[in-house]
Amino acid sequence: MTSEERHRTILHSAMDGFFVVDTQGKLVEVNRTYCRKSGYSEQELLTKSISDLEAVESADQTAAHIQRVMAQGEERFESKHRRKDGSIFDVEISVQYGYLTGGQLMAFVRDITERKKTEQRYRELFESSKDGIVYVDMQGRIQNANTAYIELLGQSYGTSPSASGPRRLCERGKTVPSSGNRTQ
């Protein structure tokens, strides 16, 4: 078996999806896993571009994203892709561009739909708990708190006592608005 055959066998048997796209976003190679996850055959996918599969970005946004990856050389991000049947699945994409890739973008695509469902169930449990729950970082700064915690302290939503007075609660680095509506 030649080196190229060995690499192709590895890519086609990988548990994650894999594809190669040109700088215009047209698919030029896909593995069996991505075909299976997307519901398309290899021949069908090779007639498509990333913007045909992308469910979050517009075609213009996808083109700009490709240019950004080309400038940076690599990126890891989450998105959503559209299957042949029209259903949407969550993906984590790890993409590289450079001279080693022959001027093309190579991407591994992991289906993270189950992980996203688990995260959503966790958020719902966190918010619906009658027990006060607060997350604090190593420096003692509040990173997140549920409504029960805030009500327990008698504070208005979005503030919490500290030595220096009220401070904004944050969820994953985003400020929680004072109105009580959380940013997601």
Give the span between the Cα atoms of 5 and 177, in whole angstroms: 55
- Domains of the chain (ranges; CATH) run 3-113 (3.30.450.20), 129-175 (no CATH)
| C-alpha to C-alpha distance for 93 and 2, rounded to whole angstroms | 28
CA-nearest of 29, 40, 49, 48 to 107 is 29
pLDDT at position 170? 39
Sole residue written with tokens 């208005």: 156
Over residues 30-44, the pLDDT tens digits come to 999 999 999 999 999
**Strands 170-171, 174-175: pairing kind:** antiparallel
Is the overall model pTM greater than 0.95, yes or no? no
Residues of the chain with pLDDT under 50: 156-184
| Residue 29 structure tokens | 């190679």
- pLDDT for 84-115, tens place per residue? 999 999 999 999 998 777 789 999 999 999 99
